[in-house]
Amino acid sequence: MVRDMTTGKPLKVITAFAVPMFVGNIFQQIYNMVDSVVVGNFVGADALAAVGSCAGAFNLVLALIVGLTGGTSVVIAQYFGAQNHEMVKKTFISAVIVNGVAGVVLTFAGVILARPLLIILGTPGDIIEEAYIYLVIMFLGTLANCMYNGMSAVLRALGDSVIPLIILVIASLLNVALDLLFVMAFGLGVAGVAIATVLSQLISAVVCVVYVFRRLPMLRFQKNEFHAQRDIVKEIVRIGFPAALSSSGVSISVMFMQRAINAYGSTVIAAYTIANRGEQIGMCLSYSIGIAVGTFCGQNIGARDFERVKSGLQTGYFISLGYTVAVGAVLLLLAEPMAGFFNPDPEVIYISAQCIRVTTIFAPVLGLVFVFQNFLRSAGDVTPTVWMSIMEIAARSFLAFLFSWLWGYPGIWWATPVGWMGSLLIGYVRYRTGKWKRKLKVNAV
């Protein structure tokens, strides 16, 4: 369902868009967590550590995909807000080509670099072979990932967050069933959960593509129209590449952090894997609110209604603060039971709960980071978002090792919140200066 976000009360419009995305992100986390839950309970802690040790390397590629498709979303949202449907279609065609090329390139690069990445990360010898198998299979699903994220970005730019949710729910349930089938029935272990995830991604991508072409007439095109527009590609890359670069930079910093964690062995790796899943669950609505604010502001920037843009931004961060405080309180209380859901080892539970509590305290800060990052990207002002990411990169890359040296592995947990606070400061200051208005590119007519 296409939604024009240039009319209606900002609270109602943003909430109506964010809630389906929130539910979708919950299922996305289920999608990601099932691998950890299944291997942690039915294969063992070493298998869980193997899956967890791949997170940084695979998220690097995922960050590139999400950043690139984010450029598409910004451009389409602005043209849609300006009611320029012809340019919406041309942007869509260009984006399909860009995403397809990116998917093929990233697949080959990922498969070739899988083992070197794991070695660089210092993956322990007792889990590196399982980690390698898991990572290669996941990289083979990169093109499907590009297809799904690309189509979802287009739908969100048009104000539709419901259809991506429905498709994701179906894929998540399928992933659960396939995980259990391949691990418990076929005994495929780590390889089984990777195959299940890739198959689920492929099915969700195909369904998404079919829906877009059958149900959205404004995006249909003839064979002779299927070619990239140079100016549009440049604009997608101008916005998407810095976003991809900053997102991948954050993933690289997580890999540095993973390197520091890997030095403490499979038990701490498994504990961090669980804590990371908890952090992702906690930030689901914050992330959704950030995307909703970005789409809302993008459409209204296209319509040149800056008072409405300001109102949408303020609405977004009040919702985000309320949510993160409430959910944070729950996670603080239930850290141990949640960790135990993934793995019954008392030491893993204890270490994981420590990490969950540290990051949860600073969850409101991360929520505001999402809001300001997506707002600035919606305006095409991507340079400050790069600096926001650099702040996170510096904290995770350097402070993780420094704090680890000072206080052991518990010190690593504190590196990330420091990065969040610095990132928020950069985003807020940029917004207050008003310089983001100089970056607007899309004409209102």
3-class SS of residue 307 = helix
Question: Could you read off the pLDDT of 190-217 as tens digits, one per residue?
Answer: 888 889 889 988 988 888 888 888 888 8
pLDDT band per the 50, 70, 90 thresholds, residue 396: confident
Q: What is the DSSP string of 354-414?
A: HHHHHHHHTHHHHHHHHHHHHHHHHTT--HHHHHHHHHHHHIIIIIHHHHHHHH-HHHHTT
The answer to whether position 444 is within a domain reads no
Counted domains in the chain: 1
Least confident of 122-131, 237-246, 391-400: 237-246
Nearest to 414 by CA among 437, 434, 395: 395
Nearest to 292 by CA among 268, 272, 315, 260: 315
pLDDT band per the 50, 70, 90 thresholds, residue 104: very high
pLDDT band per the 50, 70, 90 thresholds, residue 150: confident
The answer to whether position 278 is within a domain reads yes
pLDDT band per the 50, 70, 90 thresholds, residue 445: very low
Q: What is the DSSP string of 127-174?
A: THHHHHHHHHHHHHTHHHHHHHHHHHHHHHHTT--HHHHHHHHHHHHH
Percent of the chain with pLDDT over 70: 89
Contacts (Cβ under 8 Å, ≥6 apart) of 105: none
Structure tokens at 18: 């964010």
The answer to whether position 3 is within a domain reads no
The answer to whether position 2 is within a domain reads no
3-class SS of residue 53 = helix
The answer to whether position 4 is within a domain reads no
The answer to whether position 347 is within a domain reads yes
Range of the domain at 360: 10-439
Predicted confidence at residue 227, as pLDDT, reads 87
The answer to whether position 138 is within a domain reads yes
The answer to whether position 5 is within a domain reads no
Alpha helices in 43-84 (DSSP H): 45-53, 55-81
